[in-house]
Structure 1
């Protein structure tokens, strides 16, 4: 055995010493009357007869304060010592993981996993914060922090001593995959936004070119209309009838051109969809102008022509505003902003590519796709810098395709890992539930044995019931651990709810036994837990570890696959039926205790709220099962 591996067993020992120190600190902080440990004791009032004997009481009070200050210093020193030991432990875990990397990869992985947990949970910093709370005499907050630290250190010790390290590593890998997938989703969402803007910029550029072209046509109409008005004015002021007739004839010819061009522009979608339609409104005035000119009514012709010109000018002003908006939308500043955004998204992609190697085989293809996507993003940055949205959009589309391919690959690898974990977890759950059933039977039998003496308030019986309460609390803790694993691995639909309800029943039994209650209702609840454990074991044996098919998927034609999906449905519905049956039993019991006329007590309201919450959980689980069976094309929550 190598020297580093010889040092490995010492780490759990160091951690056990840390736990011992933390437990001692917690006991000191949580002891009765600790809230006034730093207060100077108030001397008892003395009677006149005792005045002489009470004279030296102030010095006694001063002396009594010394040990209390010593307790404060002792607690602070203990916490400081614990923090120093934790810092040393983290340093040793890091050095040993590096030394064992090639010699003993499994132990190195164990150490890295423990070190990662310690740093992510900020255990060392929390210890220092606790020391500060102790120095400031904030004992209530300090006790809460110490309890949290005890739980974290216990988990850390379990990691170092875990026999099934492979399962723990797979769970850690699953968390890493989910974190990676969440980061990838954010990158994809940002790249979709970049691509949408680039495509919008292409459309805006094309629209801007059309607007500028139409503005030239509109400017030509305005010039011609001004010319018509000027010619008409000249005809009105002409010295001879011949000059007047020539001016009017020229104005009529030019107004015909204005009318034709205005009608063409008015039919253009760039103007036709705008309200008010100034061009369409101007055309009747142009016609009136022509009619008055043909009738040699020059003053009315000038009025109609001016009205048409005013409408043309309004349309030009509105067109100028549209051009300004389009230019602002694709200004150089906008291109620079999206170039910076693209650069940040590329940096995020590169960072994700660097850490993707931690995902094992799945990380190899992921890293390749991310590198390709990063290269396409870099090309898009260059095109955005040149204010060229079309090639930038093409590059962004290439990057997005690679990102989507990465997501599909990662999701497939995560699904394979989930199936592996669920298969192992199923065996663990069945074994744990079987052990818990046997333990629950033993607790119930002991409760029945102690019931007669407990009814007589026998101290021996009450102590025995307190011990049974601790055993029941341990079962509830095991149920809670299983629930966490089931939720992490997304195993089953009704299974998490079933385990939570079972855990609440165990906690109820614990409270009853702790209070020395060994009556028939307590024993009946214990029997119900036994029945629920057996029912859950039977359902678990039929629940396949694979992920359910998407909603609307028909049953497989292959007989074995079809049987698997039917077993899944039967298992889920068995658990739902068990939950609903228990809820109905509890509802009947609560309803029997409900008064007819008097207002509901606070305790009864809490019981009703608990029933309502349980019903909501059951309904949510059944809705999820229903969505698995809904026909294709339907969405939303199934109406139950």
Structure 2
């Protein structure tokens, strides 16, 4: 772990530098050139860190394979999230005195550095590698879907040009086809990293690339009919590749589901503890804030940082769930709680610590506990002897009940918010802009609940629905 410690030392330094910059306020005695210099220095350190992690991974690959895998994954994460490039963009914002945008960018960079630190400190590298593989599988499928769309456009445009005998159109169509070929070649290269598991998909994409190249040649000859045949074959092969990757994705999601759900449950438990601490502190500070004590207001503002850390934990849990897709209702349910946390963070940052803020903090604790209870329900055994397995589809009834429980919670929360809006805007006309905005949010949330309920219904067998 010595190599990991060295990398972490650089990372801790980077985080502290960017954090210090994010805290800077525009002062007459601190010109933007000084802050920009520090930002540029942080970017240089980030580039150096990426290179060091890569070299270390190569050096210790045989002696310390687990640490090497962790370092390599860290390099990939840093490059995928473009941390160094975003530091450069932030530097440009600082040079043009766009301090608010720069501060926002620095905040995002700090979050990425924290995520990179967690990755390097992870004790379960196998889980992290599989999560990364799942992420890349989804990215590959998205690229296939995009290429299929482009090729279908080519197919239709080629047919239209042929039918209308528009020979001039074939020049532009050939250029578009050649661009599609390059996209296909990049996609094929991407799939090769999955090895034998995606051999069938890689082969199908390779065949599709050849068909697209042939189509480009036929378009160069103004032979739309033959080009159409090649384009259709390419689409069919790309669809076959996507079906193969979908199987891989489904298998990996099933393999990861229990581990990720447990990780999310642990994160929720941590969030509840930390939210409770924030609320207790807010309650202690509230009386002195009401008295107008400046030092207490400053303490409340600092408390917003603790709330923002809870938000980051929530985003981490949300990201895991969305990646593995073990629940339909949990992501939007948690998102609505995170939205409430962000409101609390904003209130605390403004120095407010009143009954309204405390009430919202308490509601967040209760909401997080409801979501945790629902996930515990979904984690119960699904065996027939325990009554958790459907005799018709072998589905997990406990997971279904957990989904329904979260949907019920979402509807109750929406009802509470609706009543709150009704009380706040009693007697106000519908044209009131604030009322219109709040109503729009309520309508969108109701539509979201309805959509999830329909999806859950459609994916559930009749016997499960009759339980």
Residues 182-331 of structure 1: matches in 2 within 5 Å? 182-192=142-152, 328-329=165-166, 331=167
Judge which range, 530-539 or 105-114, deviates more.
105-114
Cα deviation for residue 432 of structure 1 reads 2.2
Could you say which residue in structure 2 is the equivalent of 1:14?
10
State the number of aligned residues: 451
Q: For the residues of structure 1 that align with 2:54 and 2:459, how far apart are their CA atoms?
A: 54
Could you say which residue in structure 1 is the equivalent of 2:464?
none
Could you say which residue in structure 1 is the equivalent of 2:19?
23
Cα deviation for residue 573 of structure 1 reads 2.8
Judge which range, 446-455 or 621-630, deviates more.
446-455
1:517 to 345, 353, 356: 353
Could you say which residue in structure 1 is the equivalent of 2:118?
158
Q: Which has the larger radius of gyration?
A: 1
2:128 is equivalent to residue 168 of structure 1? yes
SS of corresponding position for 2:410: helix
Residues 10-409 of structure 1: matches in 2 within 5 Å? 10-27=6-23, 29-30=24-25, 34=27, 36-37=28-29, 74-132=34-92, 134=94, 139-192=99-152, 328-329=165-166, 331=167, 341-377=176-212, 395-409=230-244
Q: For the residues of structure 2 that align with 1:183 and 1:441, how far apart are their CA atoms?
A: 43
- TM-score under structure 2 length normalisation: 0.78
Change (3 A) 1:601 1:417: same
Q: Deviations over 1:277-296 (max 9, x none)?
A: xxxxxxxxxxxxxxxxxxxx
Could you say which residue in structure 2 is the equivalent of 1:559?
391
SS of corresponding position for 1:587: helix
2:401 is equivalent to residue 570 of structure 1? yes
Change (3 A) 1:431 1:403: same
Q: Deviations over 1:576-622 (max 9, x none)?
A: 222222232333344334454x77998xx647733541442232222
Judge which range, 585-594 or 129-138, deviates more.
129-138
Cα deviation for residue 381 of structure 1 reads 5.6
Q: For the residues of structure 1 that align with 2:243 and 2:284, how far apart are their CA atoms?
A: 59
Could you say which residue in structure 2 is the equivalent of 1:583?
414
Cα deviation for residue 468 of structure 1 reads 5.9
Q: For the residues of structure 2 that align with 1:74 and 1:199, how far apart are their CA atoms?
A: 60
Change (3 A) 1:125 1:562: closer
Cα deviation for residue 83 of structure 1 reads 3.2
Change (3 A) 1:402 1:463: closer
2:261 is equivalent to residue 429 of structure 1? no
Cα deviation for residue 499 of structure 1 reads 0.9
Cα deviation for residue 349 of structure 1 reads 2.5
Structure 1 contact 362–409 (Cα < 8 Å) conserved: no
Structure 1 contact 576–622 (Cα < 8 Å) conserved: no
Structure 2 runs not aligned, ≥5 long:
381-388, 461-467
1:618 to 440, 446, 450: 446
- TM-score under structure 1 length normalisation: 0.59
Structure 2 contact 379–399 (Cα < 8 Å) conserved: yes
Q: Deviations over 1:64-102 (max 9, x none)?
A: xxxx6xx66644543343333233222222322333445
Could you say which residue in structure 2 is the equivalent of 1:476?
311
Could you say which residue in structure 1 is the equivalent of 2:386?
none
Q: Deviations over 1:234-288 (max 9, x none)?
A: xxxxxxxxxxxxxxxxxxxxxxxxxxxxxxxxxxxxxxxxxxxxxxxxxxxxxxx
SS of corresponding position for 2:328: coil
SS of corresponding position for 2:57: helix
Could you say which residue in structure 1 is the equivalent of 2:465?
none
Structure 1 runs not aligned, ≥5 long:
38-67, 205-324, 546-556, 633-640
